Amino acid sequence: MQKQAYHIFAPKNRRTSVVFASPHSGNDYPDWFVQRSLLNAHTIRSSEDAFVDKLFADAPGFGAPLLVATAPRALLDLNRAAEELDPALIQGVRKVGHNPRVASGLGVIPRVVANGRAIYHGKMSRAEADHRVDHYWRPYHTALTNLLKTAHAKFGEAILIDCHSMPHEAVASVSRRGGSRPEIVLGDRFGAAADVDLVDQIEAAFARAGFRVSRNTPFAGAYVTQQYGRPHRRQHAIQIEIDRSLYMDEVEITPNADFETFRNRLRGVISEITELGADTQKDVAAE
């Protein structure tokens, strides 16, 4: 039986135009997938945004829906276009132009996990690749599109917060002014995916909670922000990357001793972000 591609945690009362989504925290690893992989059940999780869905689980309590993928990122990457198929992995796929993500093995069906470790030996059929896209990618993005359409219809705008985590080493060489490393990276594709004032307010919310924040470095956003960020249509998409070392043991892939403290700090930020969509809300349906 095909498992559901996502879960939507809906608020009792939708009171904000904000939608939270976690495309990379899925950890439903089918037995056949793990058995087929060259990697063991632990190593294959290295690309997973582990526990991000738990970190943002309070969002519905503040009136915002939370969309969570079930499929793991190693199986299918929801932050890639459905057409980003890797000819080095999938039979019958022709190379079209140069896509650096696909070339590095990080297409919609990844060839590698973190640190370039190969997932498979040999290639898979185009039919299998299409099946994964049809049964995981399309349902998730249909659900996300519908959540944003509902927000726009009710409030006259939609704000997507795309929730991710990043390895600590990803920011080890990144310094903010003053020399400190960022703990949070906000990606808005350098202003193309969201209104600058809105991103300023989100950054300020994290700063008030004591987080060090940078913008678009080293992550500016990928397919999701590019596809859904339409600020001229009052639809904004902001990617949030959180340093994993703040709340988890990256080697063991387990919550660390600071997990609940971190989650409580983040809870206040989630509350402030949802208010950004409530402050200007305009119930179009009531007009």
Question: Under a CB-based contact definition with an 8 Å cutoff, are residues 216 and 256 in contact?
Answer: no
The C-alpha atoms of residue 212 and residue 208 are separated, in whole angstroms, by 10
Look at residue 286 in the predicted model and tell me its pLDDT.
40
Look at residue 285 in the predicted model and tell me its pLDDT.
41
Structural domains of the chain sorted by starting position, each given as residue range(s) with its CATH number in brackets: 6-75+131-278 (3.40.630.40)
Look at residue 176 in the predicted model and tell me its pLDDT.
55
The C-alpha atoms of residue 230 and residue 45 are separated, in whole angstroms, by 32
Q: 125-133 long-range CB contacts below 8 Å, 24 or more apart?
A: 125/90, 125/91, 125/92, 126/90, 126/91, 126/92, 126/93, 129/85, 129/90, 129/93, 132/71, 132/75, 132/76, 133/76, 133/82, 133/108, 133/109
135 exposed, middle or buried (CB, 10 Å; 0-12, 13-18, 19+)? Answer: middle
Look at residue 279 in the predicted model and tell me its pLDDT.
55
Mean per-residue pLDDT pooled into runs of 10, the chain (287 residues): 84 96 96 93 96 98 98 97 96 88 95 94 96 97 98 96 95 68 96 97 98 95 97 97 97 97 97 88 43
Pairing label, strands 235-243, 158-166: parallel
